[in-house]
Amino acid sequence: MPVLVASDLDRTLIYSSAALSLTMPDARAPRLLCVEVHESRPLSYLTETAAGLLGDLGDAAVFVPATTRTRKQYLRINLPGPPPAYAICANGGHLLVDGVSDPAWHARVTARLADECASLDEVRDHLFATADPAWVRKHRIAEDLFAYLVVERELLPGEWVKELAVWAENRGWTVSLQGRKLYAVPKPLTKSAALHEVARRTGAELTLAAGDSLLDADLLLAADRGWRPGHGELADSDWTAPTITALPERGVLAGERILRELLKATRTGLSGGAGI
């Protein structure tokens, strides 16, 4: 039976220039491969070593990118290895099959959102009313499913973020701060639900996952085994669980370590050791 590997992308496997500058080692800096270009500008990278490992993983398992990116943002990434047959976009709002959104899945998700949490309009209006233009660069709505702000991180008031998180929690939404982006996402909109659907379709008996942010926690818990890097929201809060391995590596080298662990577990099952 196939092994299913679902991984977050940004700040887990691939890194923007800003993310690289925070965690790039000074000595023997690794060679990088650009995997995303937008408007003629290179945006995202992984190491050449990680690229080789990702190619091997794509051959050995059903590899499923699991991202909060919109479909358009995801499709401009050119990952090494076989093209993924499945991809989870918009935090589970879209399940792509050979690059095309499954309409039945999307309809199921939107029906849940209508029944189980406050509306996107209410959350969007609250963000517009309370976010200060002094530290907000952009307001965005993603796929008519959730909202996010692009912020000046050094100017962002921590108390405002905490107050927003409480306000959102009471309405069935989650707040996640990742780099310069602050997300407000409905709780029923999850990567884990899409993971279970792909596992059902593929018949996978073993599921593995990786991620770094609060929005990845449900994905990691839904898998048989999960890994998180030494940076990001989950690391900052020392989040863990019995089936989760917290890795010490930070930044782009964490991407390499995660792929080594995923490949080792794919080849050996849950009894596999710590790295190859």
Report the pLDDT value the prediction gives residue 275, as an integer from 0 to 100.
40
Query: Which two tokens mark 65?
Result: 């990118």
Where residue 273 falls among pLDDT bands split at 50, 70, 90?
A: very low
pLDDT confidence tier of residue 274, bands split at 50, 70 and 90? very low
pLDDT at 17: 84
Share of the chain above pLDDT 70, in %: 95
Q: Is the pLDDT confidence value at 20 over 90?
A: no
Helix 103-116 and helix 191-202, axial crossing angle in degrees, nearest 10: 140
Domain ranges of the chain: 3-109+189-272, 118-186
State which fold the 118-186 domain adopts: Hypothetical Protein Ta0175; Chain: A, domain 2 (3.90.1070)
Counts for the chain of helices (H) and strands (E), in that order: 10, 15
Cross-strand bridge partners of residue 96? 87, 101
- Rg of the Cα atoms in the chain: 18
pLDDT digits (tens, 9 = 90+) for 203-216: 999 999 999 999 99
Residue 8 has pLDDT above 90, yes or no: yes
Q: Where are the alpha helices (DSSP H) in the chain?
A: 17-23, 48-60, 71-75, 103-116, 120-130, 158-169, 191-202, 217-222, 233-236, 252-268
Q: Averaged over 181-194, what is the pLDDT?
A: 97
Which residues have CB under 8 Å from 137's CB, separation 6+? 149, 150, 151, 152, 180
Residue with more model confidence, 179 or 35: 35
The pLDDT confidence band at residue 48, using thresholds 50, 70 and 90, is very high
Distance, CA of 275 to CA of 259 (rounded, Å): 9
**Its pTM surpasses 0.85:** yes
3-109+189-272 and 118-186 share one CATH topology? no
Which single residue is written with the structure tokens 């900052």? 236
How far is residue 192's CA from residue 21's CA, in Å, rounded to a whole number? Answer: 31
For domain 3-109+189-272, the CATH superfamily is HAD superfamily/HAD-like (3.40.50.1000)
CB atoms within 10 A of CB 229: 27
Measuring CA to CA, how many Å separate 82 from each of 108, 131, 156, 194?
Answer: 29, 42, 40, 21
The per-residue pLDDT of the chain, averaged, comes to 94
